[in-house]
Amino acid sequence: MDIAAFPDDILSDVCLFLDEPTLGSLRLTSGRFHRLASRPFHRNLQTLRLHLMRSDLAHLSAVAAFPALAAAIRRLDLVVPHYNITSRLSAAPHGNETGLGRDNDDNDPTSGGGGGGGGDHPRHGAARLAHREREPATRRLPGLSWKTLWNQARHTWCVVCRSIAHARVRPRALSWFQDTLGCSLTTNGICDHLHNLGPGELASLHDVLRGLRAFSVSFAPPVDLWNIRNELGGEMADPDHPKGVEMMRHVLGLMPDLRRLHLHVYNASFRGDHTPPEYCTLATVMRAADLLALEELTLRGFCVSEKYMVDLLRAHTSLRYLCLERLRLTAGSWDNVLFAACQAGNIKRVRLSGLWTLQGVTKTPQSCTTSSPEAYISRRKMRIGRTISCTTLPTPGTRGQRAT
* Residue 371 Ramachandran class (φ > 0 left, ψ -120 to 50 alpha, else beta): alpha
Cβ burial 113-126 (10 Å sphere, 16+ → b, else e): bbbbbbbbbeebee
Residue 118 near residue 101 (C-beta atoms within 8 A): yes
Give DSSP secondary structure letters for 18-75. Answer: -SS--SSS----HHHHHHHHTSGGGGG--EEEEE--SSS-TTHHHHHT-HHHHHH--E
The H-or-E segment that residue 388 falls in is strand 387-389
- What are 262-273's pLDDT values in tens digits? 777 755 555 544
Helix%, strand%, coil% for the chain, nearest 5: 35, 15, 50
Taking CA atoms, 45 is separated from 9, 41, 71, 74, in Å, by 9, 7, 10, 9
Distance, C-alpha 8 to centroid of its chain:
30
pLDDT value at position 200?
53
Task: Say if residue 250 is exposed, middle or buried (CB neighbours under 10 Å; 0-12, 13-18, 19+).
Answer: middle
**Rounded-to-integer distance, Cα 220 and Cα 150, Å:** 18
**Rounded-to-integer distance, Cα 26 and Cα 17, Å:** 7
Q: Which residues contact 177 (CB under 8 A, 6 or more apart)?
A: 77, 183, 184, 186, 216, 218, 262
> Which regions in the chain score pLDDT beneath 50?
1-32, 41-42, 50-64, 74-198, 201, 221-243, 272-273, 360-404
Amino acid at 168: R
- What are 292-310's pLDDT values in tens digits? 888 889 888 888 888 999 9
Give backbone dihedrals phi and psi of 281, rounded to 5 degrees, phi first: -90, 115
Which segments of 78-227 does DSSP mark as H helices, in order? 85-89, 125-133, 146-152, 159-169, 175, 199-209
- The DSSP bridge partners found for residue 355 are 362
Q: Dihedral angle at the C-alpha atoms of 139, 140, 141, 144, nearest 10 degrees?
A: 100
The H-or-E segment that residue 264 falls in is strand 260-265
Taking CA atoms, 196 is separated from 58, 201, 222, 283, 284, in Å, by 11, 10, 18, 23, 19
pLDDT value at position 245?
58
Residue 143 near residue 89 (C-beta atoms within 8 A): yes
Please report, for the chain, the start and end positions of each structural domain, with discontinuous segments joined by +: 3-85+149-359, 86-148
Asked whether the whole model's pTM tops 0.95, one would answer: no
Sheet with strand 303-305: strands edge to edge: 303-305, 328-331, 355-357, 360-362
Amino acid at 381: K
Nearest in space to 341 (alpha carbons), one of 329, 327, 324, 326: 324
Give DSSP secondary structure letters for 213-237. Answer: SEEEEEE---S-TTTPBPTTT-PBP
Residue 217 near residue 262 (C-beta atoms within 8 A): yes
Task: Say if residue 276 is exposed, middle or buried (CB neighbours under 10 Å; 0-12, 13-18, 19+).
Answer: middle
**Rounded-to-integer distance, Cα 323 and Cα 354, Å:** 11
Radius of gyration (C-alpha) of the chain in whole angstroms? 23
